[in-house]
Structure 1
Amino acid sequence: MNDATGDDSRYQSGLVRDLWLLPQTVRNSFTFEGRSRRTEMVVYLIVGSILLQLVVGLIDLTGLIEEDAIGWGSAITFFIPLPALLTRRLHDMGRTGWLTLPVIALMLVATYEDWLVSTMDTSDPAWPDPWGLTGDMISLAGALCVVAILLLPEKNENNPYGRDPRLD
């Protein structure tokens, strides 16, 4: 503990340092080893979403690419780093990364359900939504799993998955 400031100087923080976690997350898209802080996940989810929406909006303004292609392309781009990030976040909590698989399965089922509904003729009232509330509940379950992984506290010491990333 630093007596002059009253804070623990081992943990570095700051907005600029935290924003640099986004490129780090993208570079580590296929790295399932090690640990990731909550901050890295928050920066990826929030700043990555904002940047992706800005790019999608600019592409959409040009009108060169079909709207569905833009939507699917952006979803895939955003989804690629997520399994590795969730795995490293679980490692930070001292849990196995294999717990990522059910979360990814929920997200894939929800994505398939969205695609299936988007291909149907919704103007025909005799053709009901085959997933209905079930598809919405699957989407909600996947989102809640991601939020739980985000909010659960990390192990503040070294664990079998590596050093505390806040000390680096």
Structure 2
Amino acid sequence: MPYEPAKENVEMARTIVVTAVVGTFDLSGRARRTDLLGYLIISGIVGFFANFLLHFSLSFKASIIAGVLIQTAFYIPLPALFVRRLHDQARSGWFGLLILPAIVMQIYQGVAFATGTLPEGFFNPLNPARLAVSVFSLLCMVFGLWPGSTGENRFGPDPRQI
């Protein structure tokens, strides 16, 4: 008998991705931790396999550039999803600006690596730019995993109770 994934798991994964993509520019409402983590995990898996296939079908430089484009496409829904996650914690969406330096630095790193223009010492952990992005990334991770407020808040009803 062939393996068939549980319909609930497939439906949940589909719902997470559709909610993130449809709400790409929707900064209102609230999002659960499951929404953010699910989107990151699913986009990571899809990106990994896409880059794996690109590596074998394109030249090295072209596969890096295509990988950066795929990575950038997956980053587009993240700011709005992060803002909705902050709303779940009853925080202002302006804290969502914390995610932008991390995203921009990741895209820059991919483009600079593909074009061979990475500055000397870029990967040094004491590089001020890398250190700043690491701090921003850590703050985003903490805010993304912080539990949401219980019950309704000024941004809407509790997404766990809907």
TM-score range, shorter chain: 0.7 to 0.9
SS in 2 for 1:154: coil
1:43 counterpart letter in structure 2: G
CA contact (8 A) 1:22 1:44 kept: yes
Over the residues paired in the alignment, what is the CA RMSD in angstroms? 2.6
Q: Cα gap change, 1:118/1:138 in structure 2, threshold over 3 Å: closer, same or farther?
A: farther
Identity %: 26
Aligned pairs, number = 151
User: Deviation at 1:38?
Assistant: 0.3
Q: How does 1:121-140 map to 2 (within 5 A)?
A: 128-129=120-121, 132=124, 133-140=127-134
Using the size of structure 2 for normalisation, the TM-score is 0.78
Q: Cα gap change, 1:17/1:74 in structure 2, threshold over 3 Å: closer, same or farther?
A: same
The worse-fitting range, judged by mean Cα deviation, of 39-48 and 69-78 is: 69-78
Is the aligned partner of 1:67 residue 2:59?
no
Unaligned runs of 5+ in 2: 1-7
User: Deviation at 1:118?
Assistant: 5.9
Q: Cα gap change, 1:62/1:111 in structure 2, threshold over 3 Å: closer, same or farther?
A: closer
Counterpart Cα distance in 2 of 1:119 and 1:55: 20
1:136 counterpart letter in structure 2: R
Which whole-Å deviations, capped at 9, do the CAs of 1:50-108 have from their partners, x for residues lacking one?
A: 01211222233222781232121022111100000000000000001011113313432
- Which residue of 35, 41, 44 corresponds with 1:40? 35
Unaligned runs of 5+ in 1: 1-13
Structure 2 residue aligned with 1:108: 104
Counterpart Cα distance in 1 of 2:56 and 2:41: 23
SS in 2 for 1:66: helix
Counterpart Cα distance in 2 of 1:143 and 1:82: 13
Structure 2 residue aligned with 1:89: 85
Using the size of structure 1 for normalisation, the TM-score is 0.76
2:18 counterpart letter in structure 1: P
Counterpart Cα distance in 2 of 1:93 and 1:33: 13
> Which of the pair has more CA radius of gyration?
1
Q: Cα gap change, 1:114/1:50 in structure 2, threshold over 3 Å: closer, same or farther?
A: closer
